[in-house]
Amino acid sequence: MLIRNKPIINSSEITSESVYLNRRNLLHAAGLSGISLLPNIALSEDIPSRYQRLENISKSSFSTDAKKTSFVDVTTYNNFYEFGTGKGDPASNSGKFKPQPWAVTIDGEAEVTGTFTYEDILKPHTLEERIYRMRCVEAWSMVVPWVGISLGDLLKRFQPTSKAKYVTFETVERPSEMPGQKRPLLDWPYREALRIDEAMHPLTILAVGVYGVELPNQNGAPLRLIVPWKYGFKGSKSIVRISFTEKKPYTSWNDLAPGEYGFYANVNPEVDHPRWSQARERPIGGGFFSNKVPTLMFNGYADQVANLYTGMDLTRYY
């Protein structure tokens, strides 16, 4: 007879000791040290003054009505391996990163190519706040008020040709400012990609801010990809190159572990990660012992995006 004296908990669900012990330090660094660590506290009015406020933001009809995750959780519980693998590492290790000045190179199968400044990218566009559900492959989720622009509107400016079937996004490589890149965890720089119809979808945005302020370094400053119906690893951060390609491109996680990280990365509760279930998720902000909730197909955006995958076997194209 097998007797278990301890509950079995997936490693993906365990908060690391370093994150737990550094939590109050992170709050202090964010200017929020006076705030209680009780769950579900609204912190939107307590955003540190060092973050530049963004102006002329319009509200988006794409936003969810779900309760937003607090600013402190959004900015101190992150995956950004360029700054380290712990959830608290990006907030702790990104202080030396310089997100300005910034430029993005556009190349590949498009009529308009070249290198464009951050200001060039944003100038013709209106900023929108879009409150999106975000789901991590590690079975945790957030509701985040991103500020950004329609990626499809941006890409149309570069006039992709009929050969452009995919869009690739490449993260900056600066190991002197991004200490995680000093380790060969991934083949740096980080690369992700979308099919062009996914990139052009109205839900997909290029984010420049969160909670009405500029993106913190740990959240992908100054430009990051948001595709709310996909797992978080599709959200390329600190983007310096956007390429239009005819053939399906190499992507970092899919190349490293294709059995665990599919190219499509659509949130699908019926397809488990090899090491844990994806059927349920734990919303961040409710405390470690908060109840998990069912994971929604396409992260709750099925009505808008399911038609993109008509006829595809989603257990094969995961």
pLDDT in tens, 163-186: 999 999 999 999 999 999 999 999
Q: Tell me the whole-structure pTM to 2 decimals.
A: 0.86
So what's the pLDDT on residue 297?
A: 98
**pLDDT(14) > 50:** no
Rg (CA), the chain: 19
**pLDDT(26) > 50:** no
**pLDDT(296) > 90:** yes
- 313 vs 198: CA distance, rounded Å: 17
Where in the chain are the domains?
31-309
So what's the pLDDT on residue 86?
A: 97
Mean pLDDT of 94-104: 98
- Give the CA distances from residue 11 to residues 147, 157, 204, 270, in Å, rounded to whole numbers and listed in that order: 32, 44, 31, 20
Structure-model confidence comparison of residues 46 and 282, the more confident one: 282
CATH code at 31-309: 3.90.420.10
Percent share of the chain, pLDDT over 70:
85
**pLDDT(2) > 50:** no
Residue 18's pLDDT band, with cuts at 50, 70 and 90, is very low
Question: Residues 195-242: pLDDT tens digits?
Answer: 999 999 999 999 999 999 999 999 999 999 999 999 999 999 999 999
So what's the pLDDT on residue 20?
A: 37
So what's the pLDDT on residue 288?
A: 65
Mean pLDDT of 44-71: 90
Mean pLDDT of 50-67: 95
**pLDDT(50) > 70:** yes
Residue 46's pLDDT band, with cuts at 50, 70 and 90, is confident
